[in-house]
Amino acid sequence: MALEITLLGTGLPFPNPKRAGPGYMVQAGDTKILVECGSGVVRRLVEAGHSPGDIHHLFLSHLHSDHFIDLGHFLISRWILGDDRPLHVFGAEGLQRMINLILEILEPDLRMRMSIRKVAREMPNVVVHHISEGQALDEDGFKVSAFDVEHFPLEQPFGYRFDIKDHSIVFSGDTRPCDNLIKHASGVDLLVHECTEANTWSKEHGSGQIDTHHIELAHTQPEQLGLIGRDAGVKELVVTHMNPQTIPENIHSTISRDFDGPLTIGEDLMKF
Ligand SMILES: [Zn+2]
Ligand SMILES: [Zn+2]
């Protein structure tokens, strides 16, 4: 069973034509699982040759909008394309309410689309799984577990670990360096880790009203990421969640000071 990871989006909340918001697809055989659903992810999914209707499981690391803002687009596209199978969405407390609100926004549109149909149709069926640290899914050879990370000021941010046959992949979600991630990513084949530079962040916030000191409690800097990869002993490191102003060559040289394995500064639509 060939395993493929596609980076659908390697950006963050700041709109960036080169990087969609966070999104990753894990595919093994016919099973495709989406992790995060940031801005532009549905378009990237189609660019990568997939359809929203191919996906029946979605994992959200936390409820910051950059990780879910395309969810309405995903739900309605999946429905328009004719898929009535349930979509299982996994995430923190608050997810059910969020899904209810998105479906409420979509309802008038769904009713209009139903009114022109010859055959009756169900409304989208979304099954929400509120999770905590531990195993979240064991299906079709996919084992997915959630683990706690540290992303101030959120109460329930998660990273995800996928174990598929003898392959292991970890998605950090958004986090500052934390021991629990190193524990769960220990020795994995692939670590997809965020890198939200503080020194390019400030240029994005013209207002100057954000206390950028929160970044050290919430995100990981390039000079910290090589140590994380090294301490976890990961076989390969892929960097994501980058500012529009981040210069890939710069962070590559910083991270590779401490991590000497294969290192890729992610770009949208890269596959591993
Ligand atoms: Zn984020
Ligand atoms: Zn976040």
Domain residues for 30? Answer: 3-265
- CA distances to 18, 38, 187, 204, 205 from 200, rounded to whole Å, are 16, 20, 31, 7, 10
What does the alpha-carbon distance between residue 230 and residue 193 come to, in Å, rounded to a whole number?
13
Find the CATH number of the domain harbouring 224: 3.60.15.10
pLDDT at position 186, please? 98
Ligand nearest to the CA of 152: 2
Query: Is the residue at 271 inside a domain?
Result: no
Query: Is the residue at 36 inside a domain?
Result: yes
pLDDT at position 204, please? 58
Query: Is the residue at 270 inside a domain?
Result: no
Q: How far, in Å, is the centroid of ligand 2 from the Cα of 119?
A: 42
Q: How far, in Å, is the centroid of ligand 2 from the Cα of 152?
A: 9
What does the alpha-carbon distance between residue 1 and residue 240 come to, in Å, rounded to a whole number?
26
pLDDT at position 9, please? 98
Q: What is the pTM of this model?
A: 0.95
C-alpha closest to that of 263 among 12, 255, 196: 255
Query: Is the residue at 49 inside a domain?
Result: yes
Q: How far, in Å, is the centroid of ligand 2 from the Cα of 112?
A: 35
pLDDT at position 215, please? 84
Ligand nearest to the CA of 69: 1
Q: How far, in Å, is the centroid of ligand 1 from the Cα of 22?
A: 7
**Count of the separate structural domains present in the chain:** 1
Query: Is the residue at 254 inside a domain?
Result: yes
C-alpha closest to that of 140 among 115, 162, 110: 162
pLDDT at position 148, please? 98
CB atoms within 10 A of CB 23: 30
Q: How far, in Å, is the centroid of ligand 1 from the Cα of 208?
A: 19
Query: Is the residue at 34 inside a domain?
Result: yes
Q: How far, in Å, is the centroid of ligand 2 from the Cα of 250?
A: 23
What does the alpha-carbon distance between residue 161 and residue 171 come to, in Å, rounded to a whole number?
6
Q: How far, in Å, is the centroid of ligand 2 from the Cα of 99?
A: 18
Ligand nearest to the CA of 149: 2
Query: Is the residue at 140 inside a domain?
Result: yes
Q: How far, in Å, is the centroid of ligand 1 from the Cα of 174?
A: 6
pLDDT at position 214, please? 82
**Which residues keep their CB under 5 angstroms from ion ligand 1?**
12, 66, 174
Q: Would you write out the chain's pLDDT as a tens digit for each of its 272 residues?
A: 788 999 999 999 999 999 999 999 999 988 999 999 999 999 999 999 999 999 999 999 999 999 999 999 999 999 999 888 999 999 999 999 999 999 999 999 999 999 998 988 889 999 999 999 999 999 988 999 999 999 999 999 999 999 999 999 999 999 999 999 999 999 999 999 999 998 887 655 655 677 777 888 999 999 999 999 999 999 999 999 999 999 999 999 999 999 999 999 999 999 99
Q: How far, in Å, is the centroid of ligand 1 from the Cα of 15?
A: 12
pLDDT at position 208, please? 67
pLDDT at position 120, please? 85
What does the alpha-carbon distance between residue 269 and residue 224 come to, in Å, rounded to a whole number?
25
Ligand nearest to the CA of 157: 2
Query: Is the residue at 222 inside a domain?
Result: yes
